[in-house]
Structure 1
Amino acid sequence: MAPAPPSTVVLDRNGALLRAFTDQSGRWRLPVTLAEVDPNFIALLIAYEDKRFRHHIGVDPQAAGRALFQGVTSGRIVSGASTLTMQTVRLLTERRERTLLRKAEEAARAIQLERRLSKDEILRIYLNNAPYGGNIEGIRAASLAYFGREPARLTLAQSALLIALPQSPETRRPDRDAEAARIARERVLARLAERGIITARDAAEAEREPIPTRRRPVPRLAPHLARQLANAAPDRSVHNTTLDRDWQASLEALASQRVDLIGPKVSAAILVADIDNGAIRASVGAAKFLDENRAGFVDMVTAVRSPGSTLKPFIYGLAIEAGLIAPMTLLEDTPTTFAGYEPENFDTTFRGLVTATEALRQSLNVPAIALLDAIGAVRLAVRLQTAGARVDLPVGYEPSLAIGLGGFGTRLIDLAALYTALARDGRPVALRVTDDAMPRRPGRLLEERAAKAVSAILSGMLPPRNAPPGEIAYKTGTSYGNRDAWAIGYDAKHVVAVWVGRPDGTPIASLTGWTDAAPILFDAFARIGIERRSAPPLPVATADLPPPLRQFMPRRTVSGGGGSAPRPRNALSIAFPPADARVSLSRGDGSRAPLVARVLGLPVDVWLLDGRPQSVHPNRRSAQIDVPPGEHTLTVVAADGSSERVTFSVD
């Protein structure tokens, strides 16, 4: 004699129901505790069904004596004497005979049950298994199905109906026979009033409340994520998540509204995560889960797609980290060929000389590829993978310059995690949807100064029409052929990632990240509430930069005729300090000596310690630099733009 297994439920961070699944027999049996049920309902249930429940041993001698006398004198069962414990026994054995022998057997088992379980445990079993009509079992499923609310707060009329239904669940079903349900509810109210449990006035007011005439759908929020959790752990009946039910519902509605405006067969995905701890607060896998024309069953949060230009901030970050550029360094946006690869801008025009800030904000392709050519496509791919992102390339292919414009596959959830690095001074956080998940700790993506510089640039991005400027840092992207539109942004607390497109990868002529994904991004932030970031630092003007940082000289020269020639470079390497070295600068008298840094090859024009220029005369191969204890990065830049860097620590 054991309770039937409950339905599988997926809950949000506060225990609110996101999604439920029927059990193997197709029944809705949603688990509930006494603390989750309105205490007034429990008091009314006991008062109506079994007023001596808290005191008897499983059977009520007074009620049993009365029922026995009436049964013997009439030859049939006239009044019931079933206690809640006996009714619980009946639910556990699923036997419905109404004979004296069956009643005696139930009484014996009820006494046994009382010896094994507490009164609250018996009540919990009853509330989880009582029948309420059709495939609805348990008060939680009934409350959601008939009233669209959790049983934690019930009106008097609702409580009376839920007390009446288990006695004859099929004949009193309000969705089948509202009049029979009304009569049964009024009978409960009248008896409670007769016993002085409620007033006649309360009963009269409750009788005026309409009877529900249809079943409401069980919540089906976060359907993709709920399905994944249920499939991953089929033996678990309760899945607790980090999601926020209100945010999830609001953003699912947002996605559905927007795709109707964009076009047919279009879907959208939205992910919201906490920057501090990686907890996913909302995960909208598709705009309309049940819409087959939009392939709503496909979870686009985890689908592998081309990221377009959303990776450009990390290219600029690596270039700043390497000492190649500063935010106000001039870059050339002119027709250029890189070993046969000829990138062009989205609008097929070129801007000439622009600052790195302008180039990133305008998402210009040639400057980004020139920087990627200097830092190396493999380096970018390795950094992304170290930070925990998925980098899907065809089998046998090595990362090439094309990855700078989205020439590989990744996922929306990966991009969201990467952008947490920009918000967290270069260190990403692994995203998770359950508190018991132990994701691998990702490696650093960018140095702190580089992450701060890129964040300052993205904070100045022009917002979509009618959106407030300067409140979030964000970047958009559009994949080749207008197949994917992206927008990823962050404020002081959350990162939000948006994808728009067709799940089957069909191109959409007018689709762009700016026109289609960015408005959803800003609307999503408006719905969850924006936590303002601190004002970004003002960049150093181009004229105030050291000469090698005023203009970036790419390794490939501009060629109007389509040809290109590599710029020759002499070797440049740092002889001291070696990479990852521990250096002691302490003197015998307790003072600290300067670090004497040396390079081989080209003389150095700019020496940078942790990104800050040092007062060293140009054209030197050695320099004395005051270095405090701790971990540091030394970057040297030669006159031709070549650079080297090492990380070391000082005791």
Structure 2
Amino acid sequence: MLKRVKWRYRLMLVTLLVLGAWFYQCLPEQLFNAPYSSIVLSREGKLMGAHIAKDEQWRFPPVEQVPDKFAASIIAFEDKRFEQHIGVDPMAVARATYLNITQGRVVSGASTLSMQVIRLSQQNPPRTLWNKLFEAGRALRLETRFSKREILNLYASHAPFGGNVVGLEAAAWRYFGRGADKLSWAESAMLAVLPNSPGLIHVSRSRARLKAKRDRLLLTLKQQQTLSELDYSLAVAESLPLKPEPLPRLTPHLLDTLNAQHQQQATNTPPRFETTLNRSLQRSAMQIAKHHGDTLALRGVNNLAMMVIDNKTFEVLAYVGNTPTERANKHGQAIDLVQRPRSTGSTLKPFLFASMIQSGEILPETLVSDTPVRYSGYRPKNFNRDFHGAVVARAALASSLNIPAVNMLSYHGVERFLDTLKQMGLKHLHRNARDYGLPLILGGAEASLWELTGLFANLSSIAQQNATEDWRFYRDATWLKDPDKPSDISTKSTRSNRINNISPASAWMTLQSLLEVSRPGNAGYWKRFNSTHKVAWKTGTSFGFRDAWAIGTTPQYTVGVWVGNASGEGHPGVTGVQVAAPMMFDMFNRLSVDGSWFEKPIWQMKTVKLCKDDGFLENDLCDGVDYQIPSGSHFERTSPNHQRIHVVEEGDKLWRVHSGCESVAKMQRRNWFVLPPDQAFYYRQFNANYQPLPEWRADCQLSAQSMVNENPISLIYPRSNTQVYIPKDLANERSKVVFKAVHRNPNAQLFWHLDNTFLGTTQDFHQQAVWVNAGMHTVTLVDENGQEVSQRFEVLSDE
């Protein structure tokens, strides 16, 4: 007898151990393995876009908190004692057993919300007694692992809501077009009754039954005193939704990009992307993009992209990856072109300008050369094919003149500037400096809209720093919201480890120069834009009109726009000013700009004296003006364009003389602004106040050459040691080479010689078209006063 008792105790102990082990391990580590939809939320937590899950269900990632109205409704409808029971409700089991026996069939399952969570996680197995027992046991275990609020969240996130809609959040947006936290009592009650009978949600049938169930639940809530009499009356008066609402499509391309990054990370975290985007601004950006996209499509231009960055926080506020359209597979409109590298056009010129100011190579007021030039076969041209001779650096930047930019890059160094761009954050510069060459500054490089807009935002951010702030590092734009950081995110939170070499003063001077950007040939076009606030902006157009850029910045925002074709097909007229800038200014008009402007960083500037004529350091030959430059800039270039001459005034004519032909007592000493002959030739066409040097008096001309070290002749082409390639014409014959020169005296005659062979004489317009064989040659020009210039050049063979 004693042995039997011991055996029974042992059996009971083993049974309890087995049951305990089963109870402990009856729930998998991950309760739900179903695929989730990927969703994008705005900074306010509002839905902006979603992708359907892999099983074709609209199953949003689990909610973090169930809204109070839905929580009250679902508990009142499904599980009145949810807060009191431990996973199984004994009173509900007793009631269900009584009803099922008296009715002779199953009319109640006594399932709690905890049991329904288990059933949903098991993908709704057959309703057998054994399954019910296992379901109850797992529900008990569920209660030990999760809090009541977490269990309610699991249910709300995975319950069916009709059709292919799963989860409360997806249902709220699908049926009512807004988040679950914004639903009314009637809407919450309707969704609470749906998981019990998901087939009731239909456009044309079962609507009366659905409304009756909803209204009964509302009455229950009123009887529980959850609803007031007024709230109940208003709720039952609400109608049911007529049809499912389309989900928002405000960020289709950003969602694709975020999904791609999420898949690369190989994480099991449900793809719920909480972004920094402002929903209202994003909607405005999409409207602007749709309007301009429809217009551009009529011209054969099918793609565009735009983004907005907050310059204080470096958060992305709006993001349009491509032209908004329902047929995104037709012209590459499914591609996120914010992230794709394209030819930069002229958009890098401000950063060369800022770098040269910082390194003491130029100042905004410094004259830079704008004459025909050729570098080892490369011949840059201005957009409108004009030459200005010499132009103030800030005007060259504002007018986007190509020749001054190439001359400046040649002076600064391609390799040096390439390193600067990489340091700033351009990640698509994979070639070496020699391969890029001087065309780097005119679109020879590639960068994405994301990178370029970030560069301009950095320029704005640097210009606003003060002596106490850390501006020594570049910052990176961000599009994902960090839940661990407050909304007033600090500047250090987006700081990169890339050292910044541009000071606030250099950045400020660059932005001042970008205030009135205009393209030659379109002077004043920008004034048509309806923007009441100052914007520092830059346009860019790549070779063949393939890419049009416009990027503008204020103290608060930076807006970047790209327009073109994803295929790379160009179209005449697709320029930054004509197609990208209007879109950029439309976006600025939607931003709440306060009208403030960048404060001059006096704390980081020093005063120097500049010659007012050419912007170089003052010497004793020019009139000086005070000018403030970066205190760290070592600008040491004194003016090369001023001479001290001696003149006499005879009648109304001023003659140039020297001590060999005139007594010193009669001579007057003058300081004269003199440009090199090739620069002066073009400069005086745009500057009526430019005064050329007075002519030598007749009796002083013969001896002037030996006494004064100057040459009035300038050979524009070919330059010294130039390599010339001469193409063949249609008849397979070599074309002529056109030599070009200028003389300080517009009435002078020039005598042309090639390798000691006389070619002819020119006056007024000094050009000679000549057939030249391959090899080394020397061209010599002589004027009637015996002044001459000789330069060697090489004609390359085509064999």
**TM-score scaled by structure 1?**
0.78
Does residue 504 (structure 1) correspond to residue 550 (structure 2)? The answer is no
Does residue 457 (structure 1) correspond to residue 490 (structure 2)? The answer is no
Give the whole-Å Cα distance in 2 for the aligned partners of 1:285 and 1:55: 51
* Aligned twin of 2:262: 233
* Aligned twin of 2:425: 388
Deviation at 1:335, TM superposition (A): 2.7
Structure 1's unaligned 5+ residue stretches are 568-651
Deviation at 1:196, TM superposition (A): 4.9
Structure 2's unaligned 5+ residue stretches are 1-26, 464-470, 483-492, 519-525, 619-636, 642-673, 680-713, 723-799
Per mean C-alpha deviation after superposition, the further-off stretch among 172-181 and 73-82 is: 172-181
Residues 314 and 213 (structure 1 numbering): CA distance in 2 closer, same or farther, change over 3 Å? same
Give the whole-Å Cα distance in 2 for the aligned partners of 1:81 and 1:556: 100
- The residue type equivalent to 1:272 in the other structure is V
Contact 1:481–1:507 under 8 Å retained in 2:
yes
Does residue 249 (structure 1) correspond to residue 289 (structure 2)? The answer is no
Within a 5 Å distance, the mapping from 1:212-611 to structure 2 comes to 212-234=241-263, 235=267, 236-237=269-270, 238-263=272-297, 264-288=300-324, 290-392=327-429, 398-423=435-460, 424-425=462-463, 428-434=474-480, 440-461=496-517, 463-468=526-531, 471-531=534-594, 532-535=596-599, 542-543=612-613, 545-547=616-618, 548=637, 562-565=717-720
Residues 294 and 73 (structure 1 numbering): CA distance in 2 closer, same or farther, change over 3 Å? same
Residues 175 and 537 (structure 1 numbering): CA distance in 2 closer, same or farther, change over 3 Å? farther
Deviation at 1:126, TM superposition (A): 0.8
Question: Helix, strand or coil for the counterpart of 2:563?
Answer: strand
Residues 97 and 154 (structure 1 numbering): CA distance in 2 closer, same or farther, change over 3 Å? same
Deviation at 1:73, TM superposition (A): 1.7
Deviation at 1:372, TM superposition (A): 1.6
- The residue type equivalent to 2:53 in the other structure is D
Can you list the C-alpha shifts for 1:115-162, whole angstroms capped at 9, x where unaligned? 333211211111111110122111111101111111112112101210
Deviation at 1:58, TM superposition (A): 2.3
* Aligned twin of 1:31: 61
Give the whole-Å Cα distance in 2 for the aligned partners of 1:520 and 1:277: 24
Does residue 19 (structure 1) correspond to residue 82 (structure 2)? The answer is no
Can you list the C-alpha shifts for 1:180-214, whole angstroms capped at 9, x where unaligned? 43343234334444555435654443233232232
The structure 2 residue matched to 1:148, chosen from 177, 191, 201, is 177
**TM-score scaled by structure 2?**
0.65
Residues 95 and 142 (structure 1 numbering): CA distance in 2 closer, same or farther, change over 3 Å? same
Deviation at 1:222, TM superposition (A): 2.8
Which one has the bigger strand percentage?
A: 2
Give the whole-Å Cα distance in 2 for the aligned partners of 1:53 and 1:390: 56
* Aligned twin of 2:96: 67
Deviation at 1:93, TM superposition (A): 2.1
Question: Helix, strand or coil for the counterpart of 2:377?
Answer: coil
User: Structure with the greater relative contact order (CA < 8 A, sep ≥ 6): 1 or 2?
Assistant: 1
Can you list the C-alpha shifts for 1:305-361, whole angstroms capped at 9, x where unaligned? 111111111232233334333212223433333333222221222334432222211
Per mean C-alpha deviation after superposition, the further-off stretch among 213-222 and 386-395 is: 386-395
Deviation at 1:113, TM superposition (A): 2.6
Can you list the C-alpha shifts for 1:28-80, whole angstroms capped at 9, x where unaligned? 22134453x32122112212222221112223333332221121122113345
* Aligned twin of 1:7: 37
The structure 2 residue matched to 1:53, chosen from 82, 95, 98, is 82
Give the whole-Å Cα distance in 2 for the aligned partners of 1:506 and 1:33: 46
Contact 1:556–1:564 under 8 Å retained in 2:
no
Contact 1:49–1:84 under 8 Å retained in 2:
yes
Question: Helix, strand or coil for the counterpart of 1:370?
Answer: helix
- The residue type equivalent to 2:419 in the other structure is V
Contact 2:370–2:387 under 8 Å retained in 1:
yes
Identity %: 35
Contact 1:10–1:20 under 8 Å retained in 2:
yes
Contact 2:561–2:584 under 8 Å retained in 1:
yes
Give the whole-Å Cα distance in 2 for the aligned partners of 1:197 and 1:447: 62
Can you list the C-alpha shifts for 1:478-516, whole angstroms capped at 9, x where unaligned? 111111110112111332211011111111211111121
Per mean C-alpha deviation after superposition, the further-off stretch among 59-68 and 387-396 is: 387-396
- The residue type equivalent to 1:8 in the other structure is S
Question: Helix, strand or coil for the counterpart of 1:546?
Answer: coil
Contact 1:555–1:566 under 8 Å retained in 2:
no
- The residue type equivalent to 1:27 in the other structure is Q
* Aligned twin of 1:130: 159
